[in-house]
């Protein structure tokens, strides 16, 4: 299993747009083969800090996910809402 954690610090004026985009990509991604989980979290202390946590069965599922129309359309719009760019973190499960 691979977990991707994406920290997102958004511009105040883009907060509602970011939320709607993040909810949409999570909803669509959950329908994909290989998606174990896709959740949106908000920082309790910072209302402009969001975290997307994705879990995928294998790398091939992530490659396919990154090629989907919803990913290609939504991710650039989400990036435009960010106050700063932070690379996503990737983890693999250790048994």
Q: Encode pLDDT of 50-74 as tens digits.
A: 999 999 999 999 999 999 999 999 9
Torsion of CA 20, 22, 24, 25, to 10 degrees: 160
φ, ψ (nearest 5 deg) of residue 7: -80, 135
Tell me the pTM.
Answer: 0.91
Banded model confidence at residue 95, pLDDT cuts 50, 70, 90:
confident
Per-residue pLDDT, 23: 97
Q: Fold for domain 2-92?
A: Alpha-Beta Plaits (3.30.70)
Please give the span between the terminal C-alpha atoms of the chain, in angstroms, as a whole number: 10
Task: List the beta strands (DSSP E) in the chain.
Answer: 2-10, 35-42, 49-56, 82-84, 89-92
Q: List, for residues 26-59, the tens digit of each pLDDT value.
A: 999 999 999 999 999 999 999 999 999 999 999 9
Count of C-beta atoms within a 10 Å radius of residue 4:
16
């Amino acid at each position: 299993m691979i977990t991707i954690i994406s920290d997102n610090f958004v511009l105040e004026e883009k907060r509602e747009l970011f939320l709607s985009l993040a909810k949409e990509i999570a909803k669509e991604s959950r329908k994909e083969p290989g998606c174990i989980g896709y959740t949106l979290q908000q920082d309790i202390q910072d209302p402009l800090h969001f975290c997307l946590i994705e879990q995928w069965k294998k790398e091939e599922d992530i490659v396919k996910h990154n090629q989907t129309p919803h990913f290609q359309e939504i991710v650039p719009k989400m990036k435009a809402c960010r106050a700063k760019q932070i690379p996503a973190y990737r983890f693999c499960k250790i048994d």
